[in-house]
Structure 1
Amino acid sequence: MTTLGLIGAGHIGSALARTALDAGWDVVISNSRGPETLADLVSELASRPTAGGAVRAGTATEAAAAADLAVVTIPLKAIGQVPVEPLDGKVVIDTNNYYPQRDGQVAELDEGRCTSSELLQRHLPGSTVVKAFNHIQAAQIVSARSAPGTPHRRALVVAGDDAAAKQRVADLVDAIGFDVVDLGTLADSWRIEPGTPGYGAEDDADQLRAHLAAATRG
């Protein structure tokens, strides 16, 4: 059984836990307040009849250590708290967006000198970061799923600097119910940040590619 380790148990983390469990993955979920605060969520997740995997709560370090594939889904301002050593050598999905009103002003991002995912990659030099799940509402990660081959199936982006890592994440995206569009590198991921045409759009793959092509950096 493959384990998804979630660093962050908010709306996106909880939705990914549900869909990964439904796809037959095991899940270790964590937050900044401690595993005991996740007891109700774990109970709810485990009791769902569609869950094909097992779920437990842990610390961020425990979730990272257990992960075959990890997810960082916490505010950008908190990425310095992400454990580094347990994620060494692993693929890490970054779901985050930069919101200055929440995260404070970050000059590198304001000036377009890097992307938020590149900041996480810098924090995790031994990991391989892949951007995904940042441009869909959390509830739609659960509600918008459909089977492969469904006409106009909802599509989601992956972006990263390593082709094999992107494929691993693309396989997860497909398994939980979405088509995949390869955006390119982490440096290209600005094309799906807040304010771009594809951000939040309920696109199929062709529509998403058109929105990505129309994005401008500003």
Structure 2
Amino acid sequence: MIGTLGILGAGRVGLVLARLAADAGMAVLLAGSGDPALIRASARGVGATALTAREVAEQADAVILALPLGKYRSIPADALHGKLVIDAMNYWWGSDGIRPELDDLRTTTSETVQAYLSDARVVKALSHVGYHDLEDDARPAGAADRKAIAIAGDDPADLDVVARLVDALGFDPVIAGPLSAGIMFEPGAEAFGADVDAAELRAMLARFPASQRGIRVARARSGGGPTSGGF
């Protein structure tokens, strides 16, 4: 289990995840985009300690990326050498700008992040549920109304660690497949934004190949269709 969890990004998602992790008994380290003093009070309010991004990366057992995806190259990649990194980011052209490398149906945004963080181990998770649902819907294991969160990653051991983290935060983990399967719960997919239980989330993931977006992805990856997501 993760003892010390780092979170890069002190916006709404980062603060909610910090509180859930602290409530679950983890030490939480939180970094914003600037001086840690600027978020110290907010961090303390959710049970976290404010540090620089580099300090968080170096000191945490695992790190959640909860910053705007367009800023992924600002992440201190060298400080994440050998670390488990949980990608909770999504591509939004309105805030990230038009970024062809983030809008390519032949790959996923998490694979792009993994290529940048070449010495880290990236798992996509905590990305398809809104911060308000994360905040309101966390439930203890076994609760009848417990919601689910999808996970995608290439290493079975890392998937197990992230699944246990998701469970500790109050949600049922659903493993979607390898990191490339993260496209099934990126923006534009049925599962994106879904606040549903594990059975329904599995059904949504199973429907993806036959969905309009799933067909476009398959065509792009076979070389028979447009490669962009259409923004």
TM-score (norm 1): 0.92
Displacement of 1:123 after TM fit? 0.8
Displacement of 1:5 after TM fit? 0.7
Displacement of 1:45 after TM fit? 2.0
Of 132, 139, 154, the residue aligned with 2:125 is 132
Instruction: Summarize the Cα distance change of 1:106–1:151 in structure 2 as closer, same or farther, 3 Å threshold.
Output: same
Q: Distance in 2 between matches of 1:196 and 1:58?
A: 35
**Which residue number in structure 2 is paired with residue 18 of structure 1?**
19
Q: Distance in 1 between matches of 2:57 and 2:103?
A: 30
Of 202, 205, 213, the residue aligned with 2:198 is 205
1:114-129 equivalent positions in 2, closer than 5 A: 114-129=107-122
Q: Secondary structure at the match of 1:98?
A: coil
Q: Distance in 2 between matches of 1:206 and 1:144?
A: 16
**Which residue number in structure 2 is paired with residue 50 of structure 1?**
none
Displacement of 1:152 after TM fit? 4.0
Structure 1: gaps (5+ residues): 47-54
TM-score (norm 2): 0.87
Q: Deviations over 1:111-134 (max 9, x none)?
A: 412111011101111110000111
1:144 aligns with 2:134: no
Q: Please say if residues 64 and 87 of structure 2, whose CA atoms lie closer than 8 Å, have aligned partners that are also in contact.
A: yes
Structure 2: gaps (5+ residues): 217-231
Q: Distance in 2 between matches of 1:144 and 1:213?
A: 24
1:45 aligns with 2:71: no
1:62-81 equivalent positions in 2, closer than 5 A: 62-81=55-74
Q: Please say if residues 102 and 112 of structure 2, whose CA atoms lie closer than 8 Å, have aligned partners that are also in contact.
A: no
Q: Distance in 2 between matches of 1:192 and 1:45?
A: 28
- The amino acid that maps onto 2:20 is T
Displacement of 1:190 after TM fit? 0.7
Of 44, 68, 86, the residue aligned with 1:93 is 86
Q: Deviations over 1:129-155 (max 9, x none)?
A: 000111111122121011111124200
Q: Distance in 2 between matches of 1:85 and 1:195?
A: 32
Q: Secondary structure at the match of 2:195?
A: coil
**Which residue number in structure 2 is paired with residue 31 of structure 1?**
32
Q: Distance in 1 between matches of 2:147 and 2:103?
A: 30
Q: Distance in 2 between matches of 1:45 and 1:80?
A: 27
**Which residue number in structure 1 is paired with residue 8 of structure 2?**
7
Q: Distance in 1 between matches of 2:195 and 2:50?
A: 32
Percent identity over paired residues: 40
